[in-house]
C-alpha cells in the first residue's frame, strides 16, 4: 500500500452503519484481484450470553444504588486471546509485491468488538486496517504515528466479527509487531441504538427521563467541550474531563475517578462531543471524536481523584477540546453544575442552585468530598468520574457516587471528591494533583480554562497566511491545533493538521522549501494556485528527504502564486521549522559602495552604500570571484540600514575580497489579500 493511497480514518459512532457506506475495501486493489483472494482465516471465540450479562449488571446497579454508590457501567466483557502476525491469520502477496496479512476474529453474539494489544509497533510505511463483515465501518489506516508505548487499543466497532489487514512493503525486513491480548465482547449495542432499544434489559444509552440534555443549558456550551465518555481496557464506561494546567501547554490531563480505572493498563478510549444536537427532542449524537491510550499519573481513593495523561492532546479530527479550569479552594461552591454521560447516553447536565456542603465518604475521613442535591437533572451509572463545576465554571472535583430518583428530590444527592483535598493527597506524586496541575510551581489556587484555537495560517480564509515575496525566508511554529483542511487525490491524503504558506516572487527563481530540523514526521506539498484556494496544478510533494522531514525544490515563475501545505505523515503533528531558500530577486542597483574603515585589528570592516529605489532590505555578499559574488554561501548580513559592520571578518590584511550589496524590494512577509 503506497502512502498516497491512504483512506480517511473512520471510527465507530453510534450511527456506525452510515460511516463508511461509500467505502469499499480498505485497500486499493482491483475488484477482480480481491475475488481471487481466499477468505481470511478466522479465530472463533467461545460464545457468551449477553442476556446473562445484562441481568447481572442490572442487579449490581440496584445493589450499588441501595448502598448510595454510583458504580461505573460495563458495556463489554473481556476474552483473553493470543493473536499475532506469526501465529494467526495468513499472508498474501499483492500485485505490487507488497504483503497483506489478514485475520478475522469472531466473538459469537457480540453486539460490538474492541481489541486490546499487548504488542504494537507499526514500522513506516506499514499500515493496519480493521473492518466489520459488511464493511459498514472501516477503521484505519493506523501507522507508525500511532505507536506510543508498545501497546494500544482500537475502538468498538459494530458486529460480532472484525477483520484485520496489515500491509507491508515488498522486501521490507522489519515489519513491526502486532499482538492482540484481549477481545472486548460488547453486549450493549454500543454502535447500534436501534438494536439496543429492541432489548428490554439493555438500558445503555437510555438515560432516565429526568436527565437533561446539555444543550438545554445555554450557559454550559463552552464547558461541555472538555467532557468525555471514557471506556477502559476491561469494557467499563465512565465520564471524565480534560483539565488545563498552570503552564497552559496543552498537556492532555483527564480527571476522572479511581473506580473508573483499569489497574495499570494504559488502553483507554475517550470520546468527545457525543451529544444530542438539540435540547428537545433528545436525538442520538452523530459525531464522536476520540483519543486513545493514556498513562495513569495519580490516583487517590480517599478523595476519589484520578488523573490520566493521554498520548495526544486532541482528537485526530477538526474538533479542538477545551482544557478546563479548576479551583482547589476549600471554600464551598455557592452553586454548581455537572456534565456527564448517564447510562452512556448523549451528554447531559444537572444544576444545583444551593451551596455545596463538605462531607466524607463512608467510614473515611471527613471533608474529602463536596455534596450537592441538584435542582435540575440527575446523574446515573456511567456518570462516575464526571466533573463538578463551581459558580465560576471551574472544576472542583470528580463524581464518586450518590443517590438518584426521578420521582423524588429530597433523597437525591451526589458526592464529588474534592480537588482541594487531593491537591496534596497522600503526599506522593502518584497520589496528589499538585505535581501535574501546577508543573511550574506557581502555587495557584485557581486556573482558568483554555480553549485553543487554530494557528493564523490554518486555512486560506485567514488573514494570517504569510505571503513570501523575497528569499530567504524562515519561520517556526506548531501544527497541533490546526485543522486538516487540504487533501487532494494522488498527492496529499493525510489526516493530519496542516498549515499553509504562499510564495509569489517578482522574478523567476529556483526555490527550495524545507522542513529539515522539524520535531516530527513532516510532509510537504506545493501547488500553483490562482487564489489561495484555487489549485491550478501540483508542483511537488515530498516525504522523508532528511530523515523524517521533507523538502521540495521547484522553479517559481515571476508573478505566479504558489501554496505550500506543511503537515504530518498520516496523523502526525508537532513543532516545525520552515526554510524557503533560493536566489533573491533584485529590485534596483546600489550605485556606490564605500569601505569606510578597517578596525585596528585589521579583522573588522565597516561598509556603507547609497539607498536603492524601492528597497526595504539589503543583503551584503562577499567573495573572491568578482563575477560570481551573489551566492547563498556568500551572504554575510541582511539589514534594513544602508551600512553594516562585519566583525572579525578578514583573516589577514592581505585578504582580497569583493563586496556586493543586493537590494530586496517589497515587504518581506505580508498577509494574504
The string over 305-324, giving b where at least 16 C-beta atoms fall within 10 Å of a residue's C-beta and e elsewhere, is bbbbbbbbbbbbbeebbbbb
Residues in the chain: 673
Q: Is pLDDT at 23 greater than 50 in this prediction?
A: no
Supply the pLDDT for residue 70.
72
Which of 21-25, 46-50, 225-229, 247-251 is predicted with the least confidence, judged by mean pLDDT?
Answer: 21-25
65: helix, coil or strand? helix
Scanning the structure block, which residue is given the C-alpha cell 523567476?
A: 508
Please classify residue 99 by burial: count the beta carbons closer than 10 Å to its beta carbon, then call 0-12 exposed, 13-18 middle and 19+ buried.
Answer: middle
Supply 179's cell numbers: 499482538
State mean pLDDT over 496-515. 93
Q: Is pLDDT at 490 greater than 80 in this prediction?
A: no
Q: Is pLDDT at 143 greater than 90 in this prediction?
A: yes
State mean pLDDT over 255-276. 90
Supply 352's cell numbers: 444545583
Supply the pLDDT for residue 19.
32
Q: How far apart are CA 606 and CA 643, in angstroms?
A: 8
Supply 484's cell numbers: 486538516
* Cβ proximity of 514 and 546 under 8 Å: yes
Supply the pLDDT for residue 515.
97
Supply the pLDDT for residue 202.
56
Q: How far apart are CA 98 and CA 170, in angstroms?
A: 4
Which of 223-227, 293-297, 447-451, 489-493 is predicted with the least confidence, judged by mean pLDDT?
Answer: 489-493
Range list of H helices, 217-355: none
pLDDT, one tens digit per residue, over 577-603 is 999 999 877 665 555 555 444 444 556
DSSP state string for 177-243: EEEEEEEEEE-S-TTBHHHHHT-TT--TT---TT-EEGGG-GGGTTGGGGEEEEE-TTSEEEEEEEE
Q: How far apart are CA 565 and CA 498, in angstroms?
A: 6
Residue 387 dihedral angles phi and psi, to the nearest 5°: -85, 145
Q: Around Cβ 23, how many Cβ atoms within 10 Å?
A: 15
pLDDT, one tens digit per residue, over 266-284 is 899 999 999 988 898 877 7
Q: How far apart are CA 79 and CA 114, in angstroms?
A: 11
Q: Is pLDDT at 20 greater than 50 in this prediction?
A: no
Q: How far apart are CA 82 and CA 117, in angstroms?
A: 10
What is the number of helices (H) and of strands (E) in the chain?
5, 44
Q: Over pLDDT 70: what percentage of the chain?
A: 85
Beta strand segments in 508-586, E: 509-514, 522-529, 535-543, 551-556, 561-568, 575-582
Candidate ranges 20-24, 70-74, 150-154, 260-264; pick with highest mean pLDDT:
150-154
Supply the pLDDT for residue 220.
95
Q: How confident is the model at residue 16 (pLDDT cuts 50, 70, 90)?
A: very low
Q: How far apart are CA 438 and CA 419, in angstroms?
A: 13
Contacts of 443 (CB under 8 A, 6+ apart): none
* Cβ proximity of 662 and 630 under 8 Å: yes
Q: How confident is the model at residue 306 (pLDDT cuts 50, 70, 90)?
A: very high
Q: Around Cβ 375, how many Cβ atoms within 10 Å?
A: 13
Supply 574's cell numbers: 508537532
512: helix, coil or strand? strand
Supply the pLDDT for residue 201.
54
Contacts of 247 (CB under 8 A, 6+ apart): 439, 440
Q: Is pLDDT at 160 greater than 50 in this prediction?
A: yes
State mean pLDDT over 386-390. 98
The string over 245-263, giving b where at least 16 C-beta atoms fall within 10 Å of a residue's C-beta and e elsewhere, is bbeeebbbbbbbbbbbbbe
Supply 542's cell numbers: 515530498
Q: How confident is the model at residue 67 (pLDDT cuts 50, 70, 90)?
A: confident
Q: How far apart are CA 291 and CA 268, in angstroms?
A: 8
Q: How far apart are CA 398 and CA 381, in angstroms?
A: 14
pLDDT, one tens digit per residue, over 219-233 is 999 999 999 999 999
State mean pLDDT over 532-551. 93
pTM exceeds 0.75, yes or no: yes
Scanning the structure block, which residue is given the C-alpha cell 568578482?
A: 626
pLDDT, one tens digit per residue, over 182-236 is 999 999 888 877 776 666 555 566 788 899 999 999 999 999 999 999 999 999 9
User: Could you give all domains of the chain from N- to C-terminal order, each with its CATH number?
Assistant: 3-193 (2.60.120.290), 206-447 (2.40.10.10), 466-582 (2.60.120.380), 593-668 (2.60.40)
Rounded to the nearest integer, the mean pLDDT of the chain is: 85
Compare 423 and 93 and report the one with higher pLDDT.
423
pLDDT, one tens digit per residue, over 325-364 is 999 999 999 999 999 999 888 999 999 999 999 999 988 9
Supply the pLDDT for residue 162.
96
Q: Over pLDDT 90: what percentage of the chain?
A: 58
Amino acid at each position: 500500500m503506497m502512502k498516497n493511497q491512504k483512506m480517511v480514518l473512520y471510527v465507530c459512532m453510534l450511527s456506525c452503519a452510515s460511516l463508511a457506506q461509500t467505502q469499499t475495501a480498505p485497500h486499493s486493489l482491483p475488484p477482480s484481484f480481491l475475488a481471487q483472494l481466499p477468505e481470511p482465516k478466522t479465530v472463533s471465540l467461545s460464545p457468551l450470553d449477553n442476556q446473562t450479562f445484562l441481568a447481572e449488571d442490572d442487579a449490581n446497579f440496584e445493589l450499588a444504588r441501595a448502598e448510595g454508590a454510583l458504580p461505573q457501567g460495563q458495556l463489554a466483557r473481556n476474552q483473553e486471546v493470543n493473536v499475532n502476525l506469526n501465529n494467526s491469520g495468513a499472508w498474501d502477496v499483492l500485485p505490487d509485491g507488497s504483503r497483506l496479512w489478514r485475520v478475522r476474529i469472531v466473538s459469537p453474539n457480540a453486539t460490538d468488538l474492541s481489541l486490546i494489544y499487548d504488542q504494537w509497533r507499526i514500522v513506516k510505511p506499514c499500515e493496519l486496517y480493521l473492518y466489520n463483515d459488511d464493511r459498514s465501518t472501516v477503521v484505519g489506516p493506523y501507522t507508525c504515528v500511532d505507536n506510543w508505548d508498545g501497546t494500544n487499543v482500537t475502538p468498538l466497532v459494530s458486529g460480532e466479527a472484525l477483520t484485520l489487514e496489515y500491509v507491508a512493503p515488498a522486501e521490507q525486513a522489519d515489519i513491526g509487531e502486532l499482538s492482540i491480548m484481549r477481545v472486548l465482547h460488547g453486549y450493549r449495542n454500543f454502535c447500534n441504538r436501534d438494536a439496543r432499544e429492541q432489548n428490554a434489559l439493555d438500558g445503555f444509552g437510555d438515560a432516565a427521563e429526568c436527565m437533561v440534555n446539555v444543550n438545554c443549558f445555554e450557559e454550559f456550551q463552552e464547558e461541555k467541550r472538555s467532557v468525555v465518555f471514557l471506556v477502559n481496557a476491561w469494557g467499563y464506561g465512565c465520564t471524565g474531563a480534560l483539565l488545563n494546567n498552570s503552564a497552559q501547554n496543552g498537556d492532555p490531563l483527564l480527571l476522572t475517578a479511581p473506580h473508573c480505572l483499569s489497574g495499570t493498563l494504559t488502553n483507554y478510549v475517550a470520546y468527545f462531543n457525543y451529544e444530542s444536537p438539540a435540547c428537545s427532542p433528545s436525538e442520538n449524537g452523530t459525531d464522536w471524536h476520540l483519543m486513545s491510550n493514556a498513562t495513569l499519573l495519580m490516583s487517590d481513593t480517599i478523595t476519589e481523584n484520578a488523573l490520566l495523561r493521554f498520548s495526544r492532546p486532541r482528537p485526530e479530527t477538526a474538533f479542538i477540546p477545551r482544557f478546563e479550569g479548576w479551583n482547589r479552594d476549600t471554600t464551598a461552591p455557592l452553586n454548581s453544575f455537572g456534565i456527564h454521560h448517564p447510562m452512556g447516553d448523549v451528554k447531559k447536565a444537572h444544576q444545583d442552585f444551593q451551596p455545596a456542603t463538605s462531607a466524607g465518604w463512608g467510614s473515611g475521613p471527613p471533608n474529602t468530598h463536596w455534596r450537592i442535591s441538584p435542582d435540575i437533572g440527575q446523574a446515573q451509572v456511567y456518570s462516575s468520574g464526571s466533573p463538578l463545576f463551581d459558580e465560576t465554571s471551574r472544576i472542583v472535583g470528580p463524581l464518586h457516587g450518590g443517590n438518584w430518583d426521578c420521582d423524588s428530590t429530597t433523597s437525591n444527592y451526589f458526592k464529588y471528591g474534592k480537588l482541594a483535598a487531593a491537591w496534596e493527597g497522600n503526599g506522593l506524586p502518584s497520589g496528589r494533583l499538585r505535581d501535574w496541575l501546577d508543573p511550574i510551581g506557581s502555587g495557584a489556587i485557581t486556573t482558568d480554562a483554555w480553549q485553543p484555537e487554530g494557528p493564523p495560517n490554518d486555512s486560506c480564509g485567514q488573514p494570517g497566511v504569510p505571503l513570501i515575496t523575497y528569499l530567504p525566508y524562515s519561520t517556526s511554529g506548531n501544527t497541533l491545533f490546526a485543522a486538516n483542511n487540504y487533501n487532494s487525490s494522488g498527492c496529499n491524503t493525510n489526516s493530519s493538521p496542516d498549515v499553509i504558506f504562499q510564495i509569489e516572487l517578482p522574478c523567476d527563481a529556483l526555490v527550495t522549501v524545507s522542513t529539515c530540523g522539524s520535531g516530527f514526521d513532516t510532509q510537504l506539498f506545493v501547488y500553483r494556485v490562482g487564489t489561495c484556494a484555487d489549485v491550478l496544478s501540483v508542483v511537488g510533494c515530498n516525504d522523508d528527504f532528511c530523515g523524517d522531514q521533507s523538502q521540495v525544490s521547484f522553479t517559481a515563475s515571476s508573478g505566479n502564486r504558489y501554496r505550500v501545505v506543511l503537515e504530518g505523515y498520516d496523523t502526525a503533528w508537532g513543532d516545525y521549522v520552515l526554510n524557503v531558500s533560493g536566489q533573491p530577486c533584485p529590485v534596483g542597483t546600489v550605485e556606490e559602495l564605500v569601505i569606510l574603515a578597517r578596525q585596528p585589528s585589521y579583522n573588522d570592516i565597516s561598509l556603507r552604500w547609497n539607498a536603492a529605489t524601492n528597497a526595504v532590505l539589503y543583503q551584503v555578499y562577499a567573495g573572491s570571484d568578482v563575477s560570481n559574488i551573489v551566492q547563498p554561501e556568500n551572504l554575510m548580513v541582511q539589514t534594513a540600514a544602508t551600512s553594516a559592520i562585519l566583525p572579525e571578518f578578514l583573516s589577514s590584511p592581505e585578504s582580497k575580497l569583493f563586496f556586493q550589496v543586493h537590494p530586496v524590494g517589497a515587504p518581506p512577509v505580508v498577509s494574504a489579500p
